[in-house]
Structure 1
Amino acid sequence: MKIIACYSNKGGVGKTATSVNLAHALALAGKRTLLCDLDPQGASGFYYRVKPSKKLQHDAFFKDVDKFTKSIRGSDFELLDILPANMTYRDFDIFLSRMKNSRSRLKKALKAVKNEYDVVLLDCPPNISTLSESVFKSADHIVVPVIPTTLTERTYEQLLQFFDRHKLGKKKLIPFFSMVQRQKNLHTETMERMRKKYKKSFLKASVPFSTDVEKMGIHRAPVLDFARNRPAAKAYCAMWDELQQRI
Structure 2
Amino acid sequence: MKIVACYSNKGGVGKTATSVNLAHALARAGRRVLLCDLDPQGASGFYFRVKPSKKLGDDRFFTDVKRFTDAIRGSDFDGLDILPANMSFRDFDIFLSRMKNSRSRLKKALKAAQGDYDVVLLDCPPNISALSENVFRASDAVVVPVIPTTLSERTFEQLVDFFRDEKLPRKKIVAFFSMAQATKKLHAETAERLRKAHPKRFVDVTVPFSTEVEKMGVHRAPVATFAKSSPATEAYDALWRAVAERL
Give me the TM-score of the superposition, normalised by structure 2. Answer: 0.99
3-state SS of 1:8 partner: coil
Shift of 1:162: 0.8
- RMSD, aligned α-carbons: 0.7
For residues 170 and 212 of structure 1, what CA distance do their matches in structure 2 show?
A: 32
The one-letter code of the counterpart of 1:211 is T
For residues 216 and 136 of structure 2, what CA distance do their matches in structure 1 show?
A: 28
3-state SS of 1:52 partner: coil
For residues 123 and 152 of structure 2, what CA distance do their matches in structure 1 show?
A: 18
Match of 1:23 in 2: 23
Q: Deviations over 1:41-88 (max 9, x none)?
A: 000000000012212113121111111000000000000000000000
3-state SS of 2:204 partner: coil
Match of 2:133 in 1: 133
Question: Which sits farther off after the overlay, 82-91 or 59-68?
Answer: 59-68
For residues 113 and 50 of structure 1, what CA distance do their matches in structure 2 show?
A: 19
For residues 115 and 199 of structure 1, what CA distance do their matches in structure 2 show?
A: 34
3-state SS of 1:190 partner: helix
Match of 2:212 in 1: 212
**Which 4+ stretches in 1 moved above 6 angstroms?**
none
Question: Which sits farther off after the overlay, 37-46 or 160-169?
Answer: 160-169
Question: Which sits farther off after the overlay, 95-104 or 194-203?
Answer: 194-203
Match of 1:81 in 2: 81
For residues 80 and 204 of structure 2, what CA distance do their matches in structure 1 show?
A: 26
Structure 1 unaligned blocks of 5 or more: none
Structure 2 unaligned blocks of 5 or more: none
Match of 2:145 in 1: 145
For residues 224 and 84 of structure 1, what CA distance do their matches in structure 2 show?
A: 21
For residues 244 and 140 of structure 2, what CA distance do their matches in structure 1 show?
A: 13
Match of 1:107 in 2: 107
Question: Which sits farther off after the overlay, 197-206 or 19-28?
Answer: 197-206
Report the identity percentage.
Answer: 71
The one-letter code of the counterpart of 2:126 is P
Give the number of equivalent residue pairs. Answer: 247
Q: Deviations over 1:97-140 (max 9, x none)?
A: 11111110000000011010000000000000000000010001
The one-letter code of the counterpart of 1:104 is S
Correspondence 1:42-191 to 2 at 5 A: 42-191=42-191
For residues 174 and 238 of structure 2, what CA distance do their matches in structure 1 show?
A: 14
Shift of 1:240: 1.3
Q: Deviations over 1:146-191 (max 9, x none)?
A: 0000000000000111111111110100100000001000001111
For residues 71 and 10 of structure 1, what CA distance do their matches in structure 2 show?
A: 28
For residues 53 and 126 of structure 2, what CA distance do their matches in structure 1 show?
A: 22
3-state SS of 1:206 partner: strand
Structure with greater strand percent: 2
Give me the TM-score of the superposition, normalised by structure 1. Answer: 0.99
